[in-house]
Amino acid sequence: MRLTCCALCIAALGIGAPAWGLEAQDIKPRPGLILTLDTFASIASSAGTMAYTDMEDHLSIQGISPEGLSYKIRMSVPGDSRISELAQRLTWPRKVRHEDLEYSSRMTLLYSSVDPESYGGQTFAETSRNVLATLKSRGETPFVVGIYTESDAGPLAGLMRSDTPAPPAPHPNGAPPLPDLGQLFHMMFGSARHYYRGTLQRVEPQDVPIAVLVNGDRVTLPAVHAGGTFTFGQDPPRKVEIWWLDNPDWPLTLRWTFGPASQLVTRIDWTEESSGGGNGTGGARAGGGGAGMGAQLASESCRVELHGIYFNSGSAVLLEESEPMLKQVAAIIKASSEPKLTIEGHTDNIGSAQYNQTLSEQRAGAVRDALVSRYGIPSARLIAKGYGLTRPIETNATFEGRAHNRRVELARPCAAP
């Protein structure tokens, strides 16, 4: 069985002058670091059409060795609890060799359950040190992009369509329009990887700012922006654009566009454990440290965002990637003198107000229950409350803003009602 995850979205830039919140070198591979990819896709097949929007896939670094990097992919599957249970098993390993991190000029954009753990000669979530250096010194470099696209032989017949088919009808309970389980998997069989070749040219002579949430804080990171026209056989030429973090030690792919499809990293998270105690740069929480989060809870804001809490899209089932943050939050609660604290759930505005209110309450309750049952927090100390879409902290008009509005916070009593 082949399952293909389509991590695609429309990137909305519109960022002002550079104001780096962190040094690029602070964004580096470390075990436990998690990348959240906010996604959009329009998929057409013999089974119908599906709008795949605001899905959050997660890539976590599992290990670093002289041989290279190892990742875990967690594919997000939208829908009810039945699909959420299945999504817990949709995790796949991926390895990138050290020599490819140094020299490869080929990058894989999408991933499938039948992929090998490592494609020799390719990178995955980043480009090579050599590609970044060549772009910066010469302004251009030959490049190859491997991407899953339509297959005449299989039922998937429009993954890369330039038009946007109409989404399914909204669910009666106000949930975002989503396919059923059978339709979803039927659409994801039979795709093929094509390798498009071309030349990437640097678009601007200087770095451009890319907004990303780093441990819950909105920061801008310096990126090298490159683009070009790529071809494969008789397929129509595709315009490719890529934004790589300007860090030779890890040129992370922050955004890419391929024809009508694109993807962006909305969150980069790591905990105190994975940072070795925090690096002390870029603000109170940039190192992921519990001390900084505790200080923010005790500050005049009276609340702190729990940036490492993960759910499957449209679900209140906590993902296992949340455990390091839950452990850190439990320590903060135990150290607090407040007799009662509130776990708050917040959502974006996709779906009806009632759907989002229910989802936010369920997510807050799931975090509370985990802290009580797994980390020994007395139930009397924690209140779970959902606010739905009523308290956005960024605009809901962009993927980046909606990604930030989907959050869980810990608040003490002095917080504003």
Same domain, 15 and 154: yes
* 120 and 237 housed in the same domain: yes
Identify the band that residue 87 occupies on the pLDDT scale cut at 50, 70 and 90.
low
Structure tokens belonging to residue 300: 């005049």
Phi, psi of 321 (to 5 degrees): -65, -15
- The answer to whether residues 94 and 113 touch, using CB atoms and an 8 Å cutoff, is no
Q: How confident is the model at residue 42 (pLDDT cuts 50, 70, 90)?
A: low
Percent residues over pLDDT 70 in the chain = 72
Residue 415: per-residue pLDDT: 53
Range of the domain at 351: 290-411
Residue 275 or 251, more confident: 251
Q: Domain total for the chain?
A: 2
Q: Please say whether the beta carbons of 395 and 404 come within 8 A.
A: no
Residues 104 and 141 in one domain: yes
In a domain, 26, yes or no: yes
Q: Which of 46, 86, 53, 261 is nearest to 170 (CA)?
A: 53
The whole-chain average pLDDT of the chain stands at 81
Residue 276 lies in a domain: no
Burial of 92 (0-12, 13-18, 19+ CB in 10 A): middle
Predicted local distance difference test score (pLDDT) of residue 81: 58
pLDDT at 107: 96
**Chain centre distance of CA 161:** 23
**Whether residue 22 sits in one domain with residue 122:** yes
For range 61-74, the mean pLDDT: 95
pLDDT of 254 higher than 70: yes
Q: Are residues 176 and 130 in the same domain?
A: yes
Q: What is the CATH number of the domain that holds 333?
A: 3.30.1330.60
| Chain centroid to CA 388 | 21
Return the structure tokens found at 357.
């209110």
Average pLDDT over residues 290-313: 90
Q: How many CB atoms lie within 10 A of CB 276?
A: 10
Written as one string, the DSSP assignment of 115-168 is S-S--TT-BSSB--HHHHHHHHHHSEEEEEEEEEE--TTSSB--TT-SS-PPPP
Round to whole Å and give the CA distance between 20 and 27.
Answer: 12
Per residue in 377-394, pLDDT (tens digit) is: 999 999 999 999 999 999
Same domain for 76 and 223, yes or no, is: yes
Indicate the burial class of 380 (C-beta count within 10 angstroms; 0-12, 13-18, 19 or more).
Answer: exposed
Least confident segment among 75-84, 122-131, 330-339:
75-84
Whether residue 255 is found in the same domain as residue 321: no
Shortest CA distance to 43 belongs to which of 177, 169, 185, 158? 158
Which of 269, 304, 330 is at the close of a domain? 269
